[in-house]
């Protein structure tokens, strides 16, 4: 059984879906939720689910390295072996990447490498794309980049709004992220030459 930490800045619906899905799983459990935003609804969710959370605000630290070192201290206390970014609105820096090589996952609401960035759902609509989707990937030093683990596509309907599309994307996310986490926890993911092999 590995301990995982979920990092959130906002709503935390993926955090909740991951925690719920792992409740009856023997391969991993959510040991900690790391949050950088005191207003995040994810903090309320962690309280309700009785999952330990820590609020670490970037503005309290001189630089990114000190901010990440404080996060690392908290992760070590909980013996965290996997980090799952779930709506964490920061680029991960060298301190965390070095301590957790190929042990940080992210979920993105588009089929990477299409529609990177914080507005992926709206950007796909504006581009009049016919299809978009969800990607779970390992995190590297670039934003929304790194070896892809799982992807699932969905059709954009003519009458979709940002809200209706976001709702269907979130439904997929809530299935796909736990699936990728279980693959990791069961030792089924290997990164070879920048590509993920699933055994
Ligand atoms: C998700 O759409 C995820 O793909 C993106 O941020 C959003 C987080 O939503 N990285 P929530 O906070 O998990 O509800």
pLDDT per position as a tens digit, 1-39? 999 999 999 999 999 999 999 998 999 999 999 999 999
Rounded to the nearest angstrom, the distance between the alpha carbon of 74 and the centre of ligand 1 is 23
Which of 2, 7, 3, 1 has its CA nearest to residue 106?
7
Mutate to test the pocket of ligand 1, among 14, 92, 139 (most ligand atoms within 8 A of CB): 14
Q: How far is CA 63 from CA 47, 70, 143, in A?
A: 29, 11, 19
Q: How far apart are CA 169 and CA 132, in angstroms?
A: 9
Is 108 catalytic? The answer is yes
Long-range CB pairs of 61-65 (<8 Å, 24+ gap) are 64/93, 64/95, 65/93, 65/94, 65/95
Mean pLDDT of 72-88: 98
Are β-strands 148-155 and 189-192 bridged in parallel, bridged antiparallel, or unpaired? unpaired
Give, for ligand 1, the residue of 8, 173, 174, 175 to mutate: max count of ligand atoms closer than 8 Å to Cβ: 173
Tell me which residue has its CA closest to atom 10 in ligand 1: 87
CA distances from 119 to 64, 144, 188 (A): 24, 12, 31
Determine the average pLDDT of the residues in 170-178.
98
**pLDDT, tens digit (0-9, with 9 covering 90-100), for 139-159:** 999 999 999 999 999 999 999
Distance between CA 65 and CA 147 in Å, rounded? 24
- The pLDDT of residue 166 is 98
- Please tell me the predicted confidence (pLDDT) of residue 88: 97
Q: Place 71 in a pLDDT band, splitting at 50, 70 and 90.
A: very high
Does residue 2 contact residue 82 with C-beta atoms inside 8 Å?
yes
Is residue 93 very low, low, confident or very high in pLDDT (cuts 50, 70, 90)?
very high
| Mean pLDDT to the nearest integer, 151-173 | 98
Where would I find the H helices in the chain? 13-22, 41-48, 64-77, 94-99, 120-126, 162-185
- 101 vs 16, 24, 114, 137, CA distance in Å? 25, 27, 24, 13
Confidence band for 61, pLDDT divided at 50, 70 and 90: very high
CB 12 within 8 A of CB 170: no
16 lines ligand 1 (CB under 6 A): no
Let me know: does 62 contact 35? Beta carbons within 8 Å: no
């Amino acid at each position: 059984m590995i301990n995982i930490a979920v990092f959130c800045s906002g709503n935390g619906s993926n955090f909740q879906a991951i925690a719920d899905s792992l409740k009856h799983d023997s391969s991993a459990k959510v040991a900690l939720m790391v949050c950088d935003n005191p207003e995040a609804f994810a903090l309320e969710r962690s309280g309700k689910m009785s999952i330990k959370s820590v609020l670490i605000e970037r503005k309290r630290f001189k630089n990114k390295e000190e901010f990440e070192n404080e996060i690392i201290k908290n992760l070590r206390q909980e013996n965290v072996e996997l980090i799952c970014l779930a709506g964490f609105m920061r680029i991960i820096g060298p301190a965390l990447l070095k301590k957790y090589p190929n042990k940080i996952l992210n979920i993105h609401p588009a089929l990477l490498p299409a529609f990177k960035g914080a507005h992926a759902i709206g950007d796909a609509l504006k581009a009049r794309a016919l299809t978009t989707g969800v990607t779970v990937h390992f995190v590297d030093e670039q934003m929304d980049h790194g070896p892809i683990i799982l992807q699932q596509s969905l059709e954009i309907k003519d009458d979709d709004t940002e809200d209706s599309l976001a709702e269907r994307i979130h439904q997929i996310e809530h299935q796909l992220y736990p699936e990728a986490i279980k693959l990791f926890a069961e030792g089924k993911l290997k990164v070879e030459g920048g590509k993920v092999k699933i055994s």
